[in-house]
Homo-oligomer: A and B are copies of this chain.
Amino acid sequence: MSLVVMKFGGSSVADAEKIKRVASRVMERRKKGDKVVVVVSAPGDMTDDLEAMAEKITDNPHEREMDMLLATGEQVSIALLSMAINHHGMEAVSFTGPQAGFFADLSHTRARIKHIRPVKVMKALAKGQIVIVAGFQALNAKRDIVTLGRGGSDLSAVALAVAVKADVCEIYTDVKGVYTTDPRIVPEARKITQISYDEMLELAGAGAQVMQARSIEVGKKYAMPIHVRSTFSHETGTMIRTEVSNMEEVVVSGVAYDKNQAKITIRNVPDRPGVAAKMFGALADKGVNVDMIIQSSPIQGHNDISFTVPGASSKKTMAVLEKQQKSLGAKGIVCTEHMAKVSVVGVGMRSHPGVAAKFFKALADGKINIDMISTSEIKVACVVKQSDGEKAVRLAHKAFKLHVAKSKGQRAKRNP
């Protein structure tokens, strides 16, 4: 008998039929003898609908009240799912985030979990009940309701799994697991059997939208195994887990793709301390999420600074920078839209030199020009023209032979 946290996203509980299907899945697990805690998101588009209601009231909704509003979505899901299970004569009990013992800091709409005291959850589990918990929400020290930001239900699930000492946290989704790349671009893309937290973090940061990055960080910190799998099949998905040495036999685990980026270049910025801090500080204040940053070597006391932002933020970014241009002493600001980012990720890179060179060669052979390069210990990312993006993904996937399944021996070693 193990204790499992099962997390279902909004699309899995979008309507009555889907909720009933999730209920069956959960009951099946409980009947096998496992203790089950379920974390759910708001049904389907409910969060968007609630935001739209708020927009009709004000263009600048009070954040505390926004949290009060949005928290209702998950409360609807937990009640309906619990009803669906009770309907079949199995005992289930739903808890809001605050009832489940989630405590967070004082910030609103993107609060951080401080601790979880799952007293009610543990009591219900001890009684043999299936526990249904609202993701995305917590209580703060003022006893106000706060939310954890988009994708916060993943975080709720992993953090709760840690708090109740679950054996595994299962993230149910509409894909079968984490793939070597987007199968819509590369049909030969394979499901990855297991991947380290760090690789998964790089993939998430590089545009693979399987899981929210903060939840992977928490999983890593407490070594909680995370199983990403399909709501619609019983197939094993992808296990995100602590890095083990034989993982390194796989040099590159996956290719991530972010298809809409904009490149901003600030020309001839004086090379003196504090310039970058001022510029990026102003952008952070406006909530612009800056990605790759590259600074050229100074020539005659001046630099060019380039960075990328999500395509949707380009206008806002330019507005902020144009205001600052004078005080920065820059000669010009150029925005290049329609760029894409292709990243290869793998813990094996640390021990296998030449990954970057192989990646660059693959792109060069395909006559794709690389606009910007950024690397981490386990990632090489290239910015290319959007029109070259998908081709670059296919070339990288092929160059690293990601379509080839690993030998059974290797897989057996990895699943001891």
Instruction: Give residues in A with beta carbon < 8 Å to B.
Output: 15-16, 19-20, 50, 53-54, 56-58, 60-62, 64-66, 68-69, 71-72, 75-76, 78-80, 82-84, 86-87, 93-94, 96, 99, 120, 143, 145
Given contacts A57-B16, A57-B19, A93-B64, contact A75 B72 (CB under 8 A): yes
Rounded to whole Å, the gap between the CB of A49 and the closest CB of chain B is 10
Give every chain B residue within 8 A of A65 (Cβ-Cβ). 79-80, 82-83, 86, 94
Rounded to whole Å, the gap between the CB of A41 and the closest CB of chain B is 15
Contact across chains for A16 and B99 when beta carbons are under 8 A apart = no
Name the one of B16, B57, B75, B99 contacting A83, with C-beta atoms under 8 angstroms. Answer: B57
Name the one of B20, B69, B80 contacting A69, with C-beta atoms under 8 angstroms. Answer: B80
Measured CA separation A210–B50 after assembly (Å)? 31
Give every chain B residue within 8 A of A72 (Cβ-Cβ). 72, 75-76, 79
Rounded to whole Å, the gap between the CB of A61 and the closest CB of chain B is 5
Contact across chains for A83 and B62 when beta carbons are under 8 A apart = yes
Interface of A is mostly: helix
Give every chain B residue within 8 A of A145 (Cβ-Cβ). 96
Residue of B nearest to A75 (CB): B72
Contact across chains for B94 and A53 when beta carbons are under 8 A apart = no
Given contacts A20-B57, A57-B16, A57-B19, contact A79 B68 (CB under 8 A): yes
Measured CA separation A78–B4 after assembly (Å)? 36
Contact across chains for B69 and A86 when beta carbons are under 8 A apart = no
Measured CA separation A79–B68 after assembly (Å)? 6
Query: 7 nearest interchain CB pairs?
Result: A69-B79, A16-B56, A58-B87, A72-B72, A68-B79, A62-B86, A65-B82
Given contacts A50-B76, A120-B143, contact A84 B68 (CB under 8 A): no
Contact across chains for B50 and A68 when beta carbons are under 8 A apart = no
Give every chain B residue within 8 A of A78 (Cβ-Cβ). 68
Give every chain B residue within 8 A of A16 (Cβ-Cβ). 53, 56-57
Contact across chains for A57 and B76 when beta carbons are under 8 A apart = no
Rounded to whole Å, the gap between the CB of A304 and the closest CB of chain B is 43
Residue of B nearest to A71 (CB): B75
Q: What are 6 residue pairs bridging A and B, where the CB atoms are less than 8 Å apart in the complex? A: A65-B80, A65-B82, A69-B80, A72-B72, A75-B75, A120-B143
Measured CA separation A11–B84 after assembly (Å)? 30
Give every chain B residue within 8 A of A75 (Cβ-Cβ). 68-69, 71-72, 75
Given contacts A54-B83, A61-B83, contact A143 B76 (CB under 8 A): no
Name, among A53, A57, A93, the residue most crowded by chain B CB atoms within 10 Å (CB to CB).
Answer: A57
Residue of B nearest to A76 (CB): B72
Q: List 7 additional A-B contacts (Cβ < 8 Å) besides A64-B93, A68-B78.
A: A57-B87, A58-B87, A60-B87, A62-B86, A68-B75, A69-B75, A72-B75
Name the one of B20, B56, B79 contacting A66, with C-beta atoms under 8 angstroms. Answer: B79
Give every chain B residue within 8 A of A66 (Cβ-Cβ). 79, 83
Give every chain B residue within 8 A of A120 (Cβ-Cβ). 143
Give every chain B residue within 8 A of A94 (Cβ-Cβ). 64-65, 68
Measured CA separation A128–B80 after assembly (Å)? 39
Measured CA separation A19–B57 after assembly (Å)? 8
Rounded to whole Å, the gap between the CB of A321 and the closest CB of chain B is 30
Measured CA separation A75–B137 after assembly (Å)? 14
Contact across chains for A83 and B71 when beta carbons are under 8 A apart = no
Contact across chains for B57 and A84 when beta carbons are under 8 A apart = yes
Rounded to whole Å, the gap between the CB of A45 and the closest CB of chain B is 14
Rounded to whole Å, the gap between the CB of A53 and the closest CB of chain B is 6
Contact across chains for A53 and B69 when beta carbons are under 8 A apart = no
Measured CA separation A83–B65 after assembly (Å)? 6
Give every chain B residue within 8 A of A60 (Cβ-Cβ). 87
Measured CA separation A120–B120 after assembly (Å)? 24
Residue of B nearest to A58 (CB): B87
Residue of B nearest to A132 (CB): B65
Contact across chains for B71 and A58 when beta carbons are under 8 A apart = no
Measured CA separation A150–B49 after assembly (Å)? 26
